[in-house]
Amino acid sequence: MSLMIKGVLRDEDWLEAESQDGEFMRLDSQFRNWVTADGAAGPSGEGGFPAEPGRYHLYISWACPWAHRTLIFRKLKGLEDLIGLSIVNPYMHEPGWTFEPYPDSTEDHVHGVRYMHELYSRADPQFTGIVTVPVLWDKRRDTIVNNESSEIIRMFNSAFEAFTDRHEDYYPEALRAEIDAVNERIYENLNNGVYRSGFATTQKAYEAAYQRLFETLDWLEERLSRQRYLVGDRLTEADWRLFTTLVRFDAVYYSHFKCNQRRLMDYPKLWAYTRELYQMEGIAETVHLDQIKTHYYGSHAQLNPGGIVPRGPEIDFDAPHGRERLG
């Protein structure tokens, strides 16, 4: 990632902009418009972004768990032919995400720019904030619609129903209160908790994040011992929001972010649950562990100055999961 102030790329460490008293504090995403079926305004932002085939383009990194969510929903809802895709290089050095050639990454298919920050300044010449992925781009209005993953997945879940034959609802109205509550706990303590552990700059901040993280993993292990998915027997967005953290845990967060009390594989229910989700149709192709490891170990010089990417661990996501009996 990189830091921009009033449209100008700055030399300051982006991590310093997201730290307070030794604790990593993730800044809010700033482009918050919504694609809707009829173009009406969504829960935030302005209207004028109707769902149309070919109009929108998604920018992701294979490595980023937030971007991974959006890629999964693009797959689940059958939107690949409706929404284009560009994939950044896994290395993130100055000046941030780049489209420089790398195996399984792509060029910028919309504007052909070299750096992600060029798209942000194109959308807002006075942009101030952190340049992140995912980004949902509107090719007609030539701007960023939204760069908040939790909102992009809800757009993909519902806005394009007229153009796809996949109508499974991952945020059903009857379950929304429970989904939101589960999401909140997992986001604060696990999705973002791994970063709070890894990017902490004081022992106190690290240990507080570490404790909350493993308390949450213990809570999830117990919850999944009595039901198949996070909200009963129905697969919802809460499961996919959790999955993108779990699938990275043993390969990256356990060692690189010092989340090393237990591995994911030491939680029988969570580990089986992760394998079940991984083995669902189309999901394995969204997981690129090589790029995940290359990004984290190769881009965070403050944590891994040598940039050495470990060869292990060996992780068999294709092993039988045995969770069918919980259905």
The CATH number of 2-163 is 3.40.30.10
Provide the annotated active-site residues. 64, 195
- The amino acid at residue 276 is E
Residue 172's alpha-carbon distances to 169, 179, 230, 236, 326, in angstroms, are 6, 9, 14, 8, 21
Taking Cα atoms as reference points, which of 44, 243, 53 lies closest to residue 152? 44
Dump strand ranges (E) for the chain.
Answer: 2-5, 8-9, 19-20, 23-24, 56-60, 83-87, 129-131, 135-138, 143-146
The values of phi and psi at residue 64, to 5°, are -80, 125
Q: Is residue 156 within 8 Å of 56, Cβ to Cβ?
A: no
CA 41 to chain centre: 24
Q: Give the SS3 label for residue 157.
A: helix
The pLDDT score that the predictor gives to residue 77 is 98
Give, as one character, the DSSP assignment of residue 283: T
Q: Spell out the per-residue pLDDT of the chain, length 327, in tens.
A: 688 887 888 766 555 555 556 554 545 668 999 999 999 999 999 999 999 999 999 999 999 999 999 999 999 999 999 999 999 999 998 889 999 999 999 999 999 999 999 999 999 999 988 999 999 999 999 999 999 999 999 999 999 999 999 999 999 999 999 999 999 999 999 999 999 999 999 999 999 999 999 999 999 999 999 999 999 999 999 999 999 999 999 999 999 999 999 999 999 999 999 999 999 999 999 999 999 999 999 999 999 999 999 999 999 999 999 998 775
Backbone φ and ψ for 323, nearest 5 degrees, come out as: -95, 0
- Look at residue 324 in the predicted model and tell me its pLDDT: 82
What does the domain layout of the chain look like in residue ranges?
A: 2-163, 173-326
CATH code given to domain 173-326: 1.20.1050.10
Q: State the pLDDT at residue 325.
A: 73
- Quick check: bond before 134 cis, omega within 30? yes
Cis peptide before 320 (omega within 30 of 0): no
